[in-house]
Amino acid sequence: MRNGTGGPKDVSRRNFLRTSALAGVGGAVAAAGMGSAPAAAQESADIAWDVETDVIVIGAGASGLPASIAARDEGAEVIVVEHHFDIGGIAIMSGGNIAIGGGNRLQIAAGQDDSPDQVFARITRPIEERFADRELTRRYVDEQVATFNFLEANGVNFDRHGTDVPREGGPGVNSPTQVRPHEWPIRVAVVSHDQGRNGSGIVRPLELSARNKGVQFLLSHTLTDIYREQPFAGRVTGVRVMEVDRWFQPIHRTLNIRARKGVIICSGGHGHNVAFRTMYDPRLTEEYQWHGQHTAVANAVPSIAAIKVGAALGSTGNGTQEGTGNAPDKGRWAVQDNYVRGAQTPESATFFRHRATGLPAAWAECLLVKENGLRFWDETDDSEDGYFAHALEPTGVPGKLLGGGPVWAIFDADTVTRRGYGTGYPDVDRAGGYFFSGETLEELAGQLHYNTYQLRPMPGDVLRATVEKFNSFVDTGVDTDFARANLQFKIQTPPFYAAWSTPVLHDSYTGLRANTNCQVVDMAGSAIPGLYVAGESLGGIKQHGLGRCIVTGRVAGMECVRAS
């Protein structure tokens, strides 16, 4: 954690409880194993509260930070519960581009004509409108200018917009509404996972503003239960949280925190929860990793806790629509979370989870095979179909995304030399089973079963036949299987290498159903008193990125306090 000057500041659980002005209300703090039985076994009236506050925000990322500041600006006492040992979530690792328009200051200065009506028309155009909650989307666009002003008032310093990143947040949308802040200038080695990422220019100023305004942060704790007056009726009264270690594993010490005004779920998406995501799309099986899983686990636990007290899911069609939802992404090899812009350095505080930086992918110098050793697509295809095929297509037939198994990039020593690849620590993750080598293709294939997701041995003779066939295409200049045009390099010089190339999943576009105030609703469409949701935990707004999270976070923070 940082203090206002960017220096390290560790706030322990003990210090949090001892120094908090809110501590001690409703009962003394017990020793390890403290807290009450889960919500399912106990009604809210019987709970011994360890801590009390007005608003509890679950998650300290792109939606949680605006929610906490907005609630504090309305006069509420606020505690933010964050499972990581630092704040920021995936946002701190992002490029920092925010789709937020409607006629903000930068647009006016540039002479760009924009309005909430124009933003609404762009993001509810006919191809997508059936996936959007139009009333919630309308509130979202109407709050964009006010949220832009809110960001500047809380220290975010914008320096670029429009031309740098012309996409508003949906496929094919050209728009002048992207804005990007300066990267945060302060570097501290222990929390350097934000280095080189403009997302830090959003997260760090908002963290500083929140702390200066009196928001409290309880780090390394994860939500386990939401308490409601009755199992499916009455007001949400608080939460149960559990301390976790640096691997996000429970330490089994719990706290019951009472919320006088409300609980806001800002915990991110559900993409790292295989059972949850396969409700929407059964193809998204366990081998597909989640971008940012080593920093923001996106495990859907807070959403499941909300469902247990009556919450409904919203806009579930967004979970399966191709090109959005759990969209596959690709770009790095030989590391589990191989998102193209997700590289970590050994100096990062989270590198012990990543274990490697990964190798920048060289699609024109490899062939891609499934676990059976067979090619399945043109490796150099960067189209959207290509992205999906690399993740989900075993047959090579566009439009038939049938799913199944890991993807390996196969290349040789010549590629290593040309690209200057490192083949050991910290470049590749051999220990985790995401990079292998062999003096023969048969030896290479025989290594792959050490990967957790390689569920059947790769036949060495099949891999050899695949490579030999590919090399013949290089000789003739014609790929008779997948019509790949770029055929320059054979795979022929030992040692041979196999690098994990299964794309990660990026973003969740569906979540809990909410009304226009970001208040969670139940299966009957009735608002649940005291329960709010924002960001990727929220369903109903079909748009990618930070804008959706920041705007809805601010709305949820304001409305949670105003409604109480």
Task: Give the residues across from 118 on adjacent strands.
Answer: none
Q: Tell me, what's the pLDDT at 157?
A: 87
CA distance 218 to 16: 7
Residue 327 has a pLDDT of: 53
Q: Compute the distance between CA of residue 508 and CA of residue 537 in angstroms, rounded to an integer.
A: 8
Averaged over 187-198, what is the pLDDT?
47
Q: At what angle do helices 134-142 and 116-123 cross, to 10 degrees?
A: 140
CB 334 within 8 A of CB 499: yes
Indicate the residue type of 34.
M
Residue 544, SS3?
A: coil
Tell me the mean pLDDT in the region 133-144. 94
Confidence of residue 27 (pLDDT cuts 50, 70, 90): very low
Burial of residue 84, with CB atoms counted within 10 A of its CB: 0-12 exposed, 13-18 middle, 19 or more buried: buried
Tokens of 404: 């199944």
Q: Which domains does the chain have, with CATH numbers?
A: 15-92+198-321+507-562 (3.50.50.60), 97-181 (no CATH), 327-505 (3.90.700.10)
User: In 407-538, where do the E strands start and end?
Assistant: 408-412, 435-438, 496-500, 504-506, 511-512, 519-521, 527-533
The confidence band for 387, taking pLDDT boundaries of 50, 70 and 90, is very low
Q: What is the pLDDT of residues 492-510, one digit of tens each?
A: 999 999 999 887 887 788 8
* Range with lowest mean pLDDT among 102-111, 441-450, 482-491, 522-531: 102-111
Highest mean pLDDT among 14-28, 41-55, 317-331: 41-55
**Contact call for residues 539 and 313 (beta carbons, < 8 A):** yes
Least confident of 85-94, 218-227, 281-290: 281-290
pLDDT-based confidence at residue 269 (cuts at 50, 70, 90): confident
For residue 477, CA distances in Å to 365, 466, 489, 493 come to 14, 16, 11, 20
Q: Answer yes or no: is pLDDT of 256 > 80.
A: yes
Mean pLDDT to the nearest integer, 482-487:
92
Element (H, E) at 71: helix 64-73
CA–CA distances in Å: residue 39 to residues 225, 227, 309, 514, 522: 6, 5, 9, 22, 18
pLDDT over 70 at 31, yes or no: no
Listed residue (511, 560, 557, 552) closest to 531, CA to CA? 560
